[in-house]
Amino acid sequence: MADRKPIESWLTDMDGVLIHEGVPIPGAEAFLKKLRDSGRPFLVLTNNSIYTARDLHARLRRMGLDVPAGNIWTSALATAQFLNDQRPGGSAYVIGEAGLTTALHDVGYVLTDHEPDFVILGETRTYSFEAMTKAVRLINDGARFIATNPDNVGPSTEGALPATGSVAALITAATGRKPYFVGKPNPLMMRAGLNAIGAHSETSAMIGDRMDTDVLAGLEAGMRTFLVLTGVTQPQEVDAYPFRPSQVVDSIADLVDLI
């Protein structure tokens, strides 16, 4: 990798890289401060579609991490942009929270259960059988199936929660229709994020804690990739994958000096 151009822009995952169970990971504050002081373009990414960028800005700030809302990129925002590019001014039946519905409203989408163009599945802590049944029937009637991200489980203080990927599998089993997943590891989310900050993949880096989403998405988007060992992927699991990150480091603290 020695012949690659210097890193001018940074993308980083949030959970497992900057925070863990609501607590900042040592080095996260220093990393973000150096990014802000340097003036380099950067984005904090998350596959979670529950919260708006403003919500996440406030949540991170309460933890002592200052990330402007404009530097936060969620799977909900990526999904809204994708749909606006594909079918501007469309309509959708949505299973999700404010992060997703707000993003769709902001691009001019109408949310309806009457002959929608799309059924969009996102993250929510209150998946209902009634909503899933309606989604199945609308997809059977011709609505296109989109999901914000493929994560099967999400974290909570009580343990794992079924997430978008798991519910999408249920709907797929009932309809025979697989969704198009917009979030990581789809490199579309990364490329859209790079475009949002005017960055180029050949001079950008992606930091993540998961080989199967963060590193894969960064790799497929043409970026340099850094795996931190403060989240999901454990050191002994790295060699099990048929691809490798550009570099494996213990934590975000090891990357501060690269900015």
**Is there a catalytic annotation at residue 257?**
no
Number of helices and strands in the chain (H, E): 8, 15
**Is there a catalytic annotation at residue 13?**
yes
Neighbours of 89 (CB within 10 A): 11
Determine contact, residues 227/238, Cβ cutoff 8 Å: yes
Determine contact, residues 182/189, Cβ cutoff 8 Å: yes
Neighbours of 224 (CB within 10 A): 22
Distance CA 209, CA 155 (A): 14
Catalytic residue among 15, 117, 209, 214: 15
**Ramachandran class of 31: left when φ > 0, alpha when ψ lies in -120 to 50, beta otherwise:** alpha
Catalytic residue among 13, 117, 151, 214: 13
Residues marked as catalytic: 13, 15
